[in-house]
Chains A and B, each alone.
Chain A
Amino acid sequence: MAAFSRRHVLMGGAASLAASALRISPVSAADDALYAAAKKEGALNLYWGSYEQKTIEEIRDAFKAKYPGIEVSLLRQASQTIFTRLRLEIQNDAVQCDSIGTTNLLHYKDLQKLGAIQPFKPTNIDMVPEAFRSIDPENTYHVGAISLTTINQSTSVNAPPTSWTALLDAPWANQITTGSPAFSGDVASWVVAIRKKYGDDFLRAFTKQKPKVGQSNVDTVTDILSGERKVGSAAPFSYSLTQQAAGNPIGVTVPSDDAILNLGLTAVPTKAPHPNAGKLFTDFLYSVEVSNILAKNFWPTLRTDVPWAEGRTLESIKWYRNPVDNLAAEVAEGIAKWKEIVG
């Protein structure tokens, strides 16, 4: 495990070297003006559901260190709770949030419809992988996190399933743990993707394997670590790697028929009390500092010039992202089919 941490330190160092080689100044000219405006506002209220407590706290602390003079408050709750709260704030005309970050695109479609998030272009958005640079033509929301859904397995498994379809093979009967799409957005994305790839037949065969269905996809890790089940389907990539790095007996397999990529997004509410601070934070998300923090915590980075942990990159992984059109209906249909077939 020591090797891991050394590697991270080296990797962090390499990233900083790369940053200085590319002459990325700590605060850009545009940021200077924005920083001045944000400093005048004096405060920043973050409502974030993407990233677990530890990572988002590190990002907050790095922001505070880089931009002194802004009082930062972080409310970290589950994505849907954050979204519901912002909606309640909007309904009651009491918006406190300056930057929302959640894992579900549908939140932003809804907020956009309400005219509740404001358009702006982050200054360093060009450092983001091209596929995620202009996800909203109106520029009201931007990428905030990249989340991958894969397979995870106990280290006692010598030959883990290498694809989603391999999960349907005989050895994995009574051995699979998974989350519920009715409770977890990531699992819902996985169900939509798997139905697109293989149709409802997959769900029928999957049911025959008698999977244990928990609530969140995090429960897959719990079941594997406790020894209740051996293989996790629709499992969280980054979180499983974090647990592995902590020394837990768990491994991750990126399925050959694609990891399912779900984008976390971020926006600044139209009625944000400190909009400039909110925008400055979005800019900061695409900084080298934040990507280093993400790599350290096994999250995919938001910059093309900062590799992920263990040298992975977006290009080195085969991934699939659900098409955006009609997503709301597909999620609802996916959950309904799951309930009908899996239970």
Chain B
Amino acid sequence: MASSPSVSAARSASVGYRRHHAFRLIVLVILLAVLALLIVQPLGWIVFNSFHDDDTGQWTLRNYVQIFASTSRWVPLFNSLLLATAVAVISTLLGVPLAWLVARTDMPMRGFIHLLTMAAFVTPSFIGALGWILLAAPNSGWLNVGWRALSGADWPLLNIYSMIGTIFVCSIFTVPYTFTLVSSALEEMPVELEDAATTLGSGVVKTMFSVTIPLVMPAVLVGFILSFIQGMTLFGVPAFLLTPSGTLVVTTKLAEFYQLFPPALYMSAAYCMPLIAITGMLFYARRRILGRRQFTTVGGKGRAGRKIRLKGWRLPALAFALIVPITAVVLPYIAIVLVSLSRAWGLGPIPSNLTLHWYRWAIFENAETQRAIVNSLLYAGIAASFCMIIGILVAYIVERKLLRGAGLIAALVTIPIIIPGIVLSVGFFSAYTRQPLNLYGTATIIIAAFVATFLPIAYSQAGSILKGISPDLERAARSVGATEARTFASITAPLMRGGLVAGWLLVFIPIMRELSVAIFLVSPRTNVMTTLIYNYKDGGNYEAVCAASALLLFATLIVVLLARFVTEGAAYRRRNAASLGAAP
């Protein structure tokens, strides 16, 4: 190239420029078309529905007026705000240090804790709630029975049927969001910065709070927001744990709307609109907090895999790190597995009551469960992959400001996750059950709904990673003549890889455990595990519920382990390459 005559160089540069712009245009048009189909159309239906009357089908503003006109309507909104804020705060307080301990220190049992925290993520929330009912119901909960036996007291130590109980259970099952986001950011961070602080005399804890955590702030904030949204949209836990005290939250109130005659679908749509405003404010706050600050942690230099030594703090750190694995996985799953191994769970774990019948039944005898396991894995895999592709493209456009109005696209892709699944499900039904795009009854409609619902996670994760990658590296590639696409493919994407696998899991797992969004979209052929498990729960067959849940956990954990194998393999190769590069 350098030896070419200048005229031909200019011509080829101009062809390259046009080609580059044509490519950019095609990618943008396809992306916008996909977003319009996946998000604008279903959301449009939900907004459209919200302005209609459930009884007459006429245009009205009545739904909105009614939300604020009666206490019974706005109190659940208030309760949800309380629940979601508490869940976000607790999940962050537990999740961020946990991520740091696992990713950056020499705490013992890190792999085990990582795996169990992911297992907490896999568990559908209503299963977790069920486990905790067995553990901490005021009269019969095993922990309370043990407490009474030990202390002689006649009052329960724990009451899971309370707002505090609900916050606790929601939080421990939400921590994995923050944990995964922050630990993947920490793994991408160079240790030189921490070393610098230590050299200047800063202790481990001080370094963590003054250097490490501020650097992974984008991930922490996304974790906070996702936890908040989780607290807003969870149905299973409040349905089980708050109903006895008569406390309603948004999702249980929506369930009430759906029980009315005719079902108040349009009212429900209007009821979700305040949630969009609240989430909008959160994302706006995130932008303001992060502002113009720099979070570039991935520069041109390689990273060392060295861990921070905790010394005497190793055991206290381990005790802290075990909170989530024990409360969210070990204890509830002891209960769940015991029930799944019972002929009749009311008899308790006595030898004559033990059986493998429910596993045999689920794996070999029942065609519905077999099909649902395959469907769940397949749909979640495909949807998570699409989610990541779209999420990265949107994040790249937004972070690198490739398009005017990119902020609007960012806002758009973050909306679906805040809308409770049962309302989204109706939006997707309306959007995809009419010509020319009649996808009703197909796997495509379910995958599309999953992609749209969980796109915000993919986008947020991709955005956090991109914030950490210096544009200088991309500029370097561009300056030597690489196109935008080539730069992305050969520089940005490989640098993002580790984070992308974490992001893929962050989408894959919630899809595996998602229930509501599929509820009006599944057909007998496209049934998924969660809808089936909920049916067994509905019919009171808890032994089958627990066996199916244990299988769901097992299947998802295999995928988690495979993904870790892939990331660790990549990290190993990267380290090897770095050391080879460093050799003289």
Residues on A facing B (Cβ under 8 Å): 45, 52-54, 57, 73-78, 80-81, 83-85, 87-89, 92-94, 96, 106, 110, 180, 182-183, 185, 212-216, 218, 221-229, 236, 239, 243, 246-250, 328, 331-332, 339, 342-343
Contact B262 A87 (CB under 8 A): yes
Q: Give the distance in Å from the alpha carbon of A224 to the alpha carbon of B346 in the complex.
A: 8
Chain B residues with Cβ under 8 A from A343's Cβ? 246
The verdict on B190 contacting chain A, using a C-beta distance below 8 Å, is: no
Residue of A nearest to B353 (CB): A247
- Which residues on A sit within 8 Å (CB–CB) of B161? 212
- CB-nearest residue of chain B to A93: B434
In the complex, how many angstroms separate the beta carbon of A8 from the nearest chain B beta carbon?
Answer: 17
- Identify which of B134, B259, B344, B523 contacts A226 (C-beta below 8 A): B134
With A73-B524, A87-B262, A246-B344 known to touch, is A57 a contact of B538 (CB < 8 Å)?
no
Interchain CB contact under 8 A, B256 and A182:
yes
Set of chain A residues within 8 Å of B538, measured between Cβ atoms: 52, 78, 216, 218
Q: Which residues of A contact B139 (CB under 8 A)?
A: 227-229
Given contacts A76-B535, A106-B261, A328-B261, 12 further A-B contacts (CB under 8 A): A53-B535, A54-B539, A73-B523, A87-B263, A88-B430, A92-B434, A182-B256, A183-B243, A222-B542, A226-B133, A246-B343, A248-B345
Contact B244 A225 (CB under 8 A): no
Complex partner residue of B259 from A80, A96, A342, CB under 8 angstroms: A80
* Partner pick for A52 among B140, B522, B540, CB 8 A cutoff: B540
A73 to B265, CA, bound (A): 27
Inside 8 A of B133's CB, which chain A residues have their CB? 222, 226, 228
Task: Give A98 Cβ to nearest chain B Cβ, in Å.
Answer: 12
Complex contact A228–B138 (CB within 8 A): yes
Report which of B140, B262, B438, B536 forms a contact with A110, defined as CB distance below 8 A.
B262
Given that A78-B538, A213-B243 are contacting pairs, would A228 and B256 also be in contact in the complex, using a CB cutoff of 8 Å?
Answer: no
- Closest chain B residue to A72 by CB distance? B524
Residues of B close to A331: CB separation below 8 A: 261
Interface pair A52/B539, CB less than 8 Å apart: yes
8 nearest CB pairs, A to B: A52-B539, A225-B346, A248-B346, A227-B140, A247-B344, A343-B246, A73-B524, A218-B540
B440 in contact (CB, < 8 A): yes
Specify which chain A residues have a CB less than 8 angstroms from the CB of B343 in the assembled complex.
246-247
Shortest Cβ gap from B66 to chain A (Å): 15
Q: Judge whether A243 and B536 touch: CB under 8 Å.
A: no
| Distance, CA A224 to CA B137, complexed state (A) | 12
Asked whether A94 lies within 8 Å of B433 as measured between CB atoms, the reply is yes
**Closest chain A CB from B431 CB (angstroms):** 10
B469 contacts A by Cβ under 8 Å? no
B388-410 interface bits toward A, Cβ cutoff 8 Å, 1 = contact, 0 = none: 00000000000000000000000
Residues of B within 8 A of A (CB): 72, 133-134, 137-141, 161, 239-240, 243-244, 246, 255-256, 258-259, 261-263, 265, 343-347, 353, 368, 426, 429-430, 433-434, 438, 440-441, 519-520, 522-525, 531-532, 535-536, 538-542
11 contacts between A and B (CB under 8 A): A52-B535, A53-B368, A53-B535, A77-B519, A84-B263, A94-B433, A222-B542, A223-B137, A236-B540, A248-B346, A339-B246
Known contacts A88-B429, A227-B139; A222/B540 CB under 8 A = yes
Alpha-carbon distance between A229 and B346 when the two chains are bound, in angstroms: 13
Closest chain-B Cβ to A46's Cβ sits at a distance in Å of: 8
Cα(A45)–Cα(B523), bound, Å:
10
A250 to chain B, nearest CB (A): 7
Contact: A180 with B346, CB < 8 Å? Answer: no
Determine the chain B residues whose CB is within 8 A of the CB of A226 once the complex forms. Answer: 133-134, 137, 140, 346
By beta carbon, the residue of chain A nearest B137 is A228
Which residues of chain B are within 8 angstroms of A227 by Cβ–Cβ distance?
139-140
Residues of A within 8 A of B137 (CB): 223, 226, 228
Smallest beta-carbon distance A53→chain B, Å? 5
Given contacts A88-B429, A88-B433, contact A94 B438 (CB under 8 A): yes
Whole-angstrom CA separation of A83 from B492 in the bound complex: 49
Q: Give the CA-CA distance A236 to B520 in the complex, in Å.
A: 26
- B346 near A183 with CB under 8 A, answer no
Bound Cα distance from A45 to B539, whole angstroms: 21
Q: Which residues of A lie under 8 Å from residue B535 when comparing CB positions?
A: 52-53, 76-77
